[in-house]
Amino acid sequence: MSDTPRIHLGSLLRTSSDAHAAGNLDHLNYEQGAETQTLRFVRPAPYRMDVNSLGGDEMYLQGSFSPDIVMECARCLREVEVPLRLKLGTLLRYEPSVETPYLEEAETGEEVLVFGNPDLDLSAYLAETTLLQAPLSVLHAPDCKGLCQVCGHDLNEGPCEHMAQVPVEKIDDLLGAPEGSAHVSQHPFAALRDLKLPED
Which residues contact residue 175 at a Cβ distance below 8 angstroms, ignoring those fewer than 6 apart? none
Binding part of the chain for Zn ion, among 56-64, 112-120, 123-131, 159-167 by CB under 5 A, reads 159-167
Which residue(s) pair with 121 in the sheet?
6
Residue type, 56: G
Binding pattern for the stretch 28-67 against Zn ion, x by CB under 5 A and - elsewhere = ----------------------------------------
162 binds Zn ion, rule: CB under 5 A:
yes
160 binds Zn ion, rule: CB under 5 A:
yes
Residue of 125, 85, 118 whose CA lies nearest to 102? 125
Beta carbon of residue 81, minimum distance to Zn ion (angstroms, whole number): 13
Binding pattern for the stretch 95-134 against Zn ion, x by CB under 5 A and - elsewhere = ----------------------------------------
User: In the set 6, 48, 93, 153, which binds Zn ion (CB under 5 A)?
Assistant: 153
User: In the set 39, 49, 127, 144, which binds Zn ion (CB under 5 A)?
Assistant: 144
Beta carbon of residue 54, minimum distance to Zn ion (angstroms, whole number): 46
What dihedral do alpha carbons 59, 36, 46, 133 form, nearest 10°?
A: -70
Binding part of the chain for Zn ion, among 75-83, 107-115, 169-177, 179-187 by CB under 5 A, reads 75-83
Beta carbon of residue 154, minimum distance to Zn ion (angstroms, whole number): 8
The footprint of Zn ion (CB under 5 A) covers: 73, 75-76, 140, 144, 148, 150-151, 153, 160, 162
